[in-house]
């Protein structure tokens, strides 16, 4: 199942400049998702990180993986931000950065569910540029209803 940006916008509360997923290539409900982030020189963060050598901040690579996990959780539970459901980043373990991500790169974000129990999801994420691993981590999200 492919999701374009218009469908992604229905399943994530994020908007520019913080929406970090451009396309979903694959989704296996409740199990895994593969998404893309096209990294362009127009990203607001490149203005200051770093002016003479633009590098995508590692925390934003992690955020992109978390957003991919959010899309997976929303689609798998048949919920969306519009119905008052929000998934919050709740924790991260074993984050490792192995490659610099620069303008012109395309990040392939792969997330897999390690376990989900009620409103808590634990996922494993990897971000690749081509076949090269750029970042990996385990992270948790918690579902909350907006009040």
The pLDDT, as a whole number, for residue 71 is 97
The whole-number pLDDT of residue 51 equals: 87
| Domain count across the chain | 1
How high is the pLDDT of residue 42?
Answer: 94
Q: Residue 146 has what pLDDT? A: 83
What is the C-alpha to C-alpha distance for residues 66 and 1, in angstroms, rounded to an integer? 19
State whether the Cα torsion 120-80-16-52 is positive or negative: positive
pTM: 0.96
Q: Say which of 14, 23, 49, 122 is annotated catalytic.
A: 49
Which DSSP category does 53 fall into? S
| b (16+ CB within 10 A) / e for 48-61 | eeeeeebebebebb
Range of the domain at 36: 5-145
Give the list of residues 6+ apart from residue 42 with CB closer than 8 angstroms, or none.
none
Burial 129-143 (b: 16+ CB within 10 A, else e): beeeebbbbebbbeb
92: domain CATH number?
3.10.129.10
What per-residue confidence (pLDDT) applies to 1? 73
pLDDT for residue 135:
98
Question: What is the C-alpha separation between 106 and 128, in angstroms, rounded?
Answer: 8
Which pLDDT value is given to residue 113? 98
CA–CA gap between residue 76 and residue 66 (Å, rounded): 15
The pLDDT profile of the chain, 147 residues, written as one tens digit per residue, is: 799 999 999 999 999 999 999 999 999 999 999 999 999 999 999 999 998 999 999 999 999 999 999 999 999 999 999 999 999 999 999 999 999 999 999 999 999 999 999 899 999 999 999 999 999 999 999 999 986
pLDDT for the residue numbered 18: 95
Contacts of residue 37, defined as CB under 8 A and 6 or more positions apart, other chains included, come to 20, 21, 22, 64, 106, 107, 109
Q: What's the confidence (pLDDT) of residue 118?
A: 82
Q: Is 6 a catalytic residue?
A: no
Residues 122 and 113: beta-carbon distance below 8 Å: yes
Residue 101 in tokens: 């991500």
């Amino acid at each position: 199942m492919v999701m374009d940006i218009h469908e992604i916008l229905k399943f994530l509360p994020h908007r520019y400049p913080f929406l970090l997923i451009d396309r979903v290539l694959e989704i296996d409900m409740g199990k895994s998702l593969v998404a893309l982030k096209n990294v362009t020189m127009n990203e607001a963060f490149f203005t200051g990180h770093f002016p003479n050598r633009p590098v995508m901040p590692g925390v934003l690579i992690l955020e992109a993986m978390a957003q991919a996990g959010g899309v997976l959780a929303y689609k798998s539970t048949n919920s969306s931000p519009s119905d008052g459901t929000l998934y919050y980043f709740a924790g991260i373990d074993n984050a490792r950065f192995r490659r610099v991500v620069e303008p012109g790169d395309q990040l392939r974000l792969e997330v897999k569910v390690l376990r989900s129990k009620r409103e808590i999801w634990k996922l494993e994420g990897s971000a690749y540029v081509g076949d090269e691993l750029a970042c990996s981590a385990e992270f948790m999200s918690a579902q909350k209803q907006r009040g």
